[in-house]
Each structure stands twice: as structure tokens, then as C-alpha cells.
């Protein structure tokens, strides 16, 4: 079999292993500092990176499939995020410097760049030729792309349904009672659970006006 694909796999595997180690180190540091860190892919990156580095075409396909899914979902989420809350709230957050911090923007950009690079690197011609020589089918990446976009669409539908109805109105009324008149309200999260004392509803409502933004926790029993 032609071995021109092996250097490509080794490079991709090495990058994945390094990314996994960085993620695990960041998780350990955040735990020691008592801060939150959105980890969860470090072990996958380490394990899959080791397999890809050893030349596994199957592992390379799985990594590329997952990278396509994550890249499509992340891109759709970033494009759709401004429409998931009122534009006036977004503009107020930006004006009051309450938008995303530079660290979060940098990390997001780095992750997206890594995903895009993996999709490209693991789909290069020598790797496709190696799969063909090994008798492995050439799979389209359209499926993970559509799945990633569909996940965001499901999330959008859930958020829309969460923010309408009696429960949503009750949350806004409770928030208004806490901050007073003059604010507009946007439900950030809302969930309910059934307990011994009845249905418990917990949520967070963002209250904002031109010069102020507050996150109001709400809780009541139905």
C-alpha cells in the first residue's frame, strides 16, 4: 500500500494529542482554582489522536466525521445566536461591555480553526487513496454537516417553546416584581421538575433597560 498518507495521519494525530493534553491541563487548572471550564473532549482527543498517529484509517474517518459535525453545529450556533435573544438586549450588552470576553473569543476561534484543519487534513487525497486501496468506502461528510445543523435547529425550537406560554409569563412577572418597572425581560433558562410538594420551576430571566442589565433567578411551586 502507498504510504504517502502516513505523514498526514501522524501530523493530525500529534496535533490531536497536544490539543487533548492542553484541554486536560486546562481542566485541572480550573478545578484547582474553583472555576468552570467547558471540558469534555480532552480524553477523546488523546485516544483518537494516538490511533490516528499510528495510522488508523478508521480512527481518522471517525475524527473527521466528528469534526465535521462539531464544526457545522458550532458555525450554525454562532450564526444563529444573535437571533436567539432580542437584538436590543444584544446591543445593550455590547454597549455596557457585557459581551463575550476576549479569552472566550480566542478559545472559540482556536477550536473552530482546529476543527476546520482536521476536516481538511484528514480528507486530503493521499488519505482518500489509502482508504480506497484498503477497500474502505468513501463516505460523504454531508451527513454530519446536516446533523450538526439539525442539532442547532432543535435547540432553537426548544428555546422558542420555552419562552412562550403561562410558565414563561409567570417567570417574567416574578422577575418584574424583583427589579421593578421600566425593564424588558428575556428568559435565559427555564426548567421544571416534579417533586413531593408539586411541580417546581426554576429559571433565570434577564432584565434590561438602556443603562442596566440584571440576571434574575426565579423559582416557584405549581
Name residues whose C-beta falls within 8 Å of residue 202's C-beta, 6 or more positions apart in sequence: 190, 191, 192, 193, 217, 218, 219
Give, for all 222 residues of the chain, the pLDDT tens digit: 568 899 999 999 999 999 999 988 888 877 777 777 666 688 899 999 999 999 999 999 999 999 999 999 999 998 888 788 888 888 888 888 887 777 778 888 999 999 999 999 999 999 999 998 888 888 889 999 999 999 999 998 988 888 888 888 998 989 999 988 889 999 988 888 887 777 888 999 999 998 889 999 999 887
Residues 147 and 42 in one domain: yes
Q: In the chain, how many domains are there?
A: 2
Clarify whether residues 62 and 118 are in a common domain.
yes
Q: Residue 21 has which C-alpha cell?
A: 493534553
On whether the CB atoms of residues 174 and 220 are closer than 8 A, the answer is: yes
Question: Which of 161, 180, 211 is the last residue before a domain boundary?
Answer: 161
User: Same domain, yes or no, for 25 and 94?
Assistant: yes
Range of the domain at 111: 6-161
Spatial separation of the C-alpha atoms in residues 90 and 96, rounded to whole Å: 10
Among 138, 161, 184, which residue terminates a domain?
161
- Cβ distance 12 to 52 under 8 Å? yes
Write out 135-157 in H/E/C secondary structure.
CCCCCCCHHHHHHHHHHHHHHHH
Say whether pTM exceeds 0.85. Answer: no
32 and 133 belong to one structural domain: yes
**Same domain membership, residue 172 and residue 101:** no
Residues 202, 171: Cα–Cα separation, whole Å: 9
Euclidean distance between CA atoms 163 and 145, whole angstroms: 28
In a domain, 1, yes or no: no
Amino acid at each position: 500500500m502507498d504510504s504517502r498518507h502516513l505523514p498526514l495521519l501522524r501530523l493530525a494525530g500529534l496535533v490531536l494529542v497536544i490539543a487533548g493534553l492542553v484541554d486536560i491541563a486546562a481542566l485541572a487548572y480550573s478545578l484547582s482554582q474553583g472555576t468552570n471550564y467547558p471540558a469534555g473532549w480532552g480524553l477523546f482527543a488523546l485516544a483518537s489522536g494516538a490511533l490516528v498517529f499510528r495510522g488508523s484509517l478508521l480512527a481518522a474517518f471517525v475524527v473527521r466525521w466528528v469534526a465535521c459535525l462539531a464544526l457545522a453545529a458550532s458555525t450554525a450556533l454562532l450564526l444563529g445566536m444573535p437571533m436567539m435573544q432580542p437584538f436590543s438586549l444584544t446591543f445593550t450588552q455590547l454597549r455596557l461591555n457585557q459581551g463575550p470576553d476576549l479569552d472566550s473569543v480566542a478559545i472559540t476561534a482556536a477550536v473552530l480553526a482546529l476543527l476546520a484543519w482536521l476536516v481538511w487534513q484528514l480528507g486530503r487525497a493521499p488519505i482518500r487513496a489509502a482508504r480506497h486501496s484498503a477497500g474502505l468506502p468513501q463516505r460523504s461528510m454531508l451527513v454530519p454537516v446536516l446533523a450538526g445543523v439539525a442539532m442547532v435547529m432543535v435547540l432553537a425550537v426548544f428555546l422558542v417553546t420555552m419562552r412562550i406560554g403561562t410558565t414563561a409569563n409567570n417567570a417574567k412577572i416574578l422577575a418584574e416584581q424583583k427589579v421593578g418597572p421600566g425593564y424588558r425581560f428575556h428568559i435565559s433558562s427555564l426548567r421544571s421538575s416534579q417533586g413531593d410538594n408539586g411541580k417546581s420551576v426554576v429559571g433565570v430571566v434577564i432584565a434590561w433597560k438602556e443603562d442596566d442589565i440584571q440576571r434574575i433567578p426565579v423559582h416557584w411551586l405549581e
